[in-house]
Chain A
């Protein structure tokens, strides 16, 4: 309303590339004046809030073929970046391969938004709720750099994304999930939890994800713990992971995990929750969810 403008409002031109290469070329031509879009559900909230200005051109990726498929592939699962969240939410294969990712998708926004929003968009934001879940799975992201499609580990991709050094023209094309492989006789535990400001259709304040294997002796291995929330950077919490790796769970471990999470988790305060609240919430949820998941396993002996 009060933003001074030097020209009238425009309606952005919508470009409809038919191939990755064409999209990449358009972005290179437009530079900052062009933005990749698919569902544009997040972008729209940013334009409306005035935190990001409306670009002159929208490069609509939805015309590119085969980017919306969810395929089982060599024991793993490939998810196209344009797969909408509703589809991911319904996918039995995703639920089987990466329940934490599916739970993250389940908790995002509301049906009308999920019908438009894509999993690629959620990831490309750099802070979508899927990311902590992907961090605890054996996940890789497929990226097109103008010439080649390459797969990168989620952590590496995130590090680049948050460094601001990544090429703006890169296109996230999909996710590849390897089948979880733990020690013989072990059981996979995978958890995602989100805390927002109401029960559903809420931006997250805190998200946590846990992935690990537990053997018949109650020992944990392959422990991965991640946290995020809001527009904060999704991150692995390796100190807490180290506490748990190879250990059986007892009260001391729970206390140490809590402390490790609270110490390591980097987040930010906002008008609705303090940093301390978010850290404690992450610590509490990770510990409590571990305890709940292990109840009935060997770890229960300690309680």
Chain B
């Protein structure tokens, strides 16, 4: 079904948080203020790599209006953070490894005073060589950025005997692909309000994708019990992975506890660029061979991932890339190797697509090259190698079986844009320098955190004493439409009316551990949780209603209250009045995982195919994407507007990844410090997007809707590269695509003759 308002009928609902967001009246956490609050600011390293010889803060502390200046000496607990490996210093003590490293923080009466105080903090550095190229960092004689070396993580996957298999291949494609340091560019930069409470507790109002993880990390840093910290983390003005890791929280918390006053921090865009996470730039070298009929035989891959100064989830991102470099294809002989390397280039971390975007750009490029060499239509080439129902997962692991790969292949094969592709490049006589082409790509993308990583799920439903049905989950709303989707599930699965509901998320004092809002998992986990809760919660409501209504049995929940035979018998408010305590049902479970013992290997996958049409302007080398069609197999559509929004939004980020976005660095400093040089797409860069949702799942499937949070962003780049090749015959290997690579000079005399003019 093509998703739209029209095709969705009554399921197309106005999202509950929509009006406030669209009109700008919604108060985000960084909009909050408190009586007597101070402004916090962080001093970031002046150098990309240096030893700290001395640090003097006295002058800053003496400035009138400064309430505290803190450094590494003022961290009561662990001076480190990191979801997977807590080794990123809260404050650097003797060494800085990137220009986002924090050295000190100030709390002052105003931003101006705080900034002035920062300027008075003196740091003596001894400069160290700045390592900006991961391959230089891999050399034996390189300076070591961490005691354990410059290699954060190494991955390997071997199957069969690729060396011998290549010898038997009819065609072999060898290419190296490069992907950019993309920035999440959320609307709301990192920040928050930190309040020391009278009872000794600390309240943190600051965005994250997993409130309980922030609480745990802050507890280690502050040496405070987790229960003494309350993290309120929604609503969030965008995250895309970028706020999964701690950012300003340690500084706000430490300053608030030190001064005993509320402290507000809010990164400027420049500081957000400097200190925030980016997508891992990867260099992916591939050698792929097939037989004369285009059947893939051997695949050799070497991934080098630049994780920057610290780990955060660099290991997990490389694991994901390693699992996705073979795409949805069955290849007998494979040798995959990945290296995640420390450098002095900022910090790379979690970002929508999570290593899949880079991997899929490379593998899909290989398929196109081999198809050309073998003289086979590229879409047909994919069919010949595509996984079928029953095939094991990419790493040989058992996965949840669906027909997803074939479904999205077939769906795309049937669309008019793919028929247009057969006509070859297009050119308008009135504008002979604009050439069009159509390209396509396919992807499978894992959801959930994968084998061996704690991935809890769960939630709570409750009839509160005021008659509201409360749904309480530990998820976050960062624009993806989680609240809207939860509301829709409650209405559709339970029959409630929107007005009956109170949805509570993003507050560690009240929510259960539902796991993180990452990895395309929240929708799946909410759906499963509500399914698990359904029998018990409806039975308990019916039981209570029976006793409250003087023995009417067989009541079922509906809009406004309990119903029987098409009649409202008892409102929830009336029912609640008869209760002494709320009716509460909870469920606790784990994200489903593969039994195969390989850390990070996935069990649930979403499948997607995409066709795009591009215009290449030969005069300027600029590419415009003028049409997009996505076919997505992700099980039932939980919320059509949310689903469409995720694919459109993911596509928008992919347009940037493909055409314009790269956080350029020079000697460890960002060149693109603001959004006037770091260029994200605007509405004028977006084409129309059609999204076909393929909802069919095998009859035995019990996993329901799969995540769609990332899949819209992972295969646009290779489809654009394919379309460009059709238009102008050039193979793109580097993202974002440089206009200079595609620019031509049709008016240089030897070329001008009958070339384009006339």
Contacts and interface: CB of A to CB of B under 8 A. Distances in A.
A258 B740 contact: no
B430 A284 contact: no
B46 interface: yes
Contacts of A277: 621, 739-740, 743
Contacts of B67: none
Interface stretch (A68-76, A77-85, A175-183, A288-296): A288-296
A203 B757 CA distance: 30
A11 B752 CA distance: 58
Interface in A199-258: 199-203, 251-252, 254-255, 257-258
A207 to B, nearest CB: 12
Interface string B93-105: 0000000000000
B207 to A, nearest CB: 22
A9 B684 contact: no
Contacts of B649: none
A255 B747 contact: yes
Interface in B12-36: none
Contacts of A285: 619-620
B320 interface: no
B747 A258 contact: yes
Contact of A9 (B43, B115, B673, B674): B115
Q: Interface SS of chain B: helix, strand, loop or mixed?
A: loop
A195 B620 contact: yes
Sorting the interface of chain A by its residue count into under 10, 10 to 19, 20 to 34 or 35 or more gives 35 or more
Given A8-B113, A9-B112, A195-B622, A283 B747 contact: yes
Interface centre among A2, A11, A48 (most CB of B within 10 A): A2
Contacts of A198: 659-660, 679, 681-682, 684-685
A45 interface: yes
B714 to A, nearest CB: 22
Contacts of A201: 682, 684
Interface string A260-303: 00000000000111101100110111011001100100000001
Contact of B119 (A4, A259, A292): A4
Among A199, A258, A277: residue with most chain B CB under 10 A: A199
Nearest to B116: A8
Interface string B721-758: 00000000000000000011001011111001100011
Interface residues of B, number: 49
B679 A49 contact: no
A166 interface: no
B673 A49 contact: yes
Contact of A251 (B274, B672, B752): B752
Contacts of B115: 1, 8-9
A199 B617 CA distance: 12
A3 B745 contact: no
Contacts of B747: 254-255, 257-258, 283-284, 287
B125 to A, nearest CB: 12
A271 B662 CA distance: 11
A197 interface: yes
B682 A284 contact: no
A5 interface: yes
B694 to A, nearest CB: 32
B671 interface: yes
Given A48-B674, A284-B745, A288-B433, A200 B682 contact: yes
A203 B271 CA distance: 22
Contact of A1 (B271, B619, B677): B271
Given A1-B271, A195-B620, A258 B748 contact: yes
Interface string B37-54: 000000110100000000
Given A198-B679, A288-B433, A1 B757 contact: no
B689 to A, nearest CB: 16
B745 A280 contact: yes
Contacts, number: 115
Interface string B600-639: 0000000000000000001111101000000000000000
B141 interface: no
A89 B672 CA distance: 30
Interface in B361-383: none
Nearest to A48: B674
Contacts of A202: 679
Nearest to B44: A1
B510 interface: no
Contacts of A251: 752-753, 757-758
Nearest to A285: B619
Contacts of A276: 740
Contacts of B271: 1
Contacts of B682: 110, 198-201
A195 B433 CA distance: 15
B270 interface: yes
Contacts of A303: 757-758
A292 B660 CA distance: 28
B431 interface: yes
A81 B347 CA distance: 46
A41 to B, nearest CB: 11
Contacts of B752: 251, 254-255
B565 interface: no
B118 interface: yes
B685 A272 contact: no
A95 B271 CA distance: 42
A284 B432 CA distance: 12
B148 interface: no
| Residue among A9, A276, A292 with max Cβ neighbours from chain B (10 Å) | A9
Nearest to A254: B747
Interface string A1-28: 1111101110100000000000000000
Contacts of A110: 682
A303 B41 CA distance: 65
Given A198-B682, A198-B684, A45 B676 contact: yes
Interface in B637-671: 659-660, 664, 666, 671
Nearest to A291: B757
Contact of A258 (B660, B671, B743, B745): B745
Contacts of A257: 747
A49 B671 CA distance: 11
Nearest to B659: A198
B664 A271 contact: yes
A284 B748 CA distance: 10
B44 A2 contact: yes
Contacts of B431: 292
25 contacts: A1-B43, A1-B271, A2-B46, A3-B119, A4-B119, A5-B119, A8-B112, A49-B673, A49-B676, A197-B679, A198-B659, A198-B685, A203-B677, A252-B749, A254-B747, A255-B752, A258-B745, A271-B672, A272-B677, A277-B621, A277-B739, A277-B743, A284-B618, A284-B746, A287-B747
Interface of B: 43-44, 46, 63, 112-113, 115-116, 118-119, 270-271, 274, 430-431, 433, 618-622, 624, 659-660, 664, 666, 671-674, 676-677, 679, 681-682, 684-685, 739-740, 743, 745-749, 752-753, 757-758
Given A8-B112, A251-B758, A254-B747, 11 more contacts: A2-B44, A49-B673, A201-B682, A277-B621, A281-B621, A281-B743, A284-B433, A284-B618, A284-B746, A292-B431, A303-B757
Closest 10 CB pairs of A and B: A258-B747, A284-B619, A200-B684, A199-B684, A8-B116, A303-B758, A9-B112, A5-B119, A277-B740, A255-B749
